Copies of this chain bind each other. A is one copy, B any other.
Amino acid sequence: MHSPLKHIAESTVRRLSLYLRFLEEFEARGQSTVSSGELARSGGTTSAQVRKDLSFFGSFGKRGLGYDVKDLIASIREILGLEHPWPVVIIGAGKIGAALAQYRGFTSRGFHVVGVYDSDPAKVGNALGALQVRALTDLEADIAQHHPRIAVLAVPAEAAQPIVDRVVAAGLRAILSFAPAPLLVPAGVTLRAVNMATELEILAYSLTHAE
């Protein structure tokens, strides 16, 4: 389970995350079994896609019956690596960073914010929920002490690459960036970037070319 022979497509991992969300809804409704078809309908895919996605990691269903909801939740959580919580640092305590630091959907899904950092002395010390904004200069020492595994970036474009470099040098291997800047990371580091401008421009394109 922990080292599938083949490389798994990102689209598969993304769908597993989606299935997990639906399975939790099914569980909350008290449903104990699902078929690949039901899961597919919830998530806008096909039953074959659901079965194929799961088949990369093992056999979790019973032929003629479907999948046990609780078991499949546990299996997908294990596949995604969610059996234990992941400590996260947020860098940038501007409006977006502050909103993220207090976002409940974060913690409720096993991602614990262990630190929020900003280079602006005026922001350092500000309370954000249970946390206090810390100075960016504390970053490396804090990482060494608390071993966060994921960094979330909410900094201006110019600041983003230097921060990525620091965070990578400090040993982090996963970064989620909201900075409106293209970033480079060395091999072995996973970077995901959410770029608002691009999202909106794709919508503008779709509106412009709609028939």
Contact = CB atoms under 8 A, between A and B. Distances in A.
A42 B182 contact: yes
Interface of A: 2-4, 8, 10, 13-14, 16-18, 20-22, 42-44, 79-82, 86, 88, 94-96, 98-100, 102-103, 105-106, 109, 111, 149-150, 173-176, 180, 182, 184, 188, 190, 192, 194-211
Query: What is the total number of copies of this protein in its complex?
Result: 2
A204 B99 contact: no
A150 B102 contact: no
Nearest to A98: B95
A205 to B, nearest CB: 5
Contacts of A209: 2-4, 8, 81
Contacts of A8: 209
B81 A2 contact: no
A145 to B, nearest CB: 19
A39 to B, nearest CB: 12
Contacts of A3: 209, 211
Contact of A95 (B86, B103, B207): B103
